[in-house]
Homo-oligomer: A and B are copies of this chain.
Amino acid sequence: MSAQKKHFENHLSYVLAAAHRSISKSLSDRLRKHGIKIEAWRVMECLDAGERLTMGQLADRALVNPPTLSKLVDRMVLDGLVHRRVADEDHRQINLLLTSLGRMRMIQIREDVDAEDQNLAALLDETSIDLLRKALAKLS
């Protein structure tokens, strides 16, 4: 058994939380000037990705709980970024759609997110990043 493990800081949940904390902090600092939160950016990217999404699917992909998404979307509607439409097939479902303002703003925001990603990529080599991505994917 590999040594270590005396220190609780070796727990995967700890290093993961630490990395997540630091990365979301710098990303959300950068998004602050757009007046938007990381989750809202994720919602917009999800919507832009093509298929029509219901609130439920969106909650899964944007990594937020349904009640939180509901409230987030309220604000985004108010800001004119998205709009709700009752789904044709199943009237309980809501399809969320990006407005053209939403798409425009998303593209601007994406520039900043990509820039932030460059910073991040500088900390690790290409292959580590790939390994990291794959390892993390297995944990989700």
Contact = CB atoms under 8 A, between A and B. Distances in A.
Interface of A: 2, 7-24, 27, 38, 42, 45-46, 49, 61, 63, 113, 116-117, 120-121, 123-124, 126, 128-133, 135-140
11 contacts: A8-B42, A8-B45, A12-B23, A13-B38, A15-B137, A16-B20, A16-B23, A17-B38, A23-B139, A132-B135, A132-B136
Q: Can you tell how many copies of this chain the complex includes?
A: 2
Contacts of A9: 61
Contact of A13 (B11, B15, B16, B24): B24
A16 to B, nearest CB: 5
**Main secondary structure on A side of the interface with B:** helix
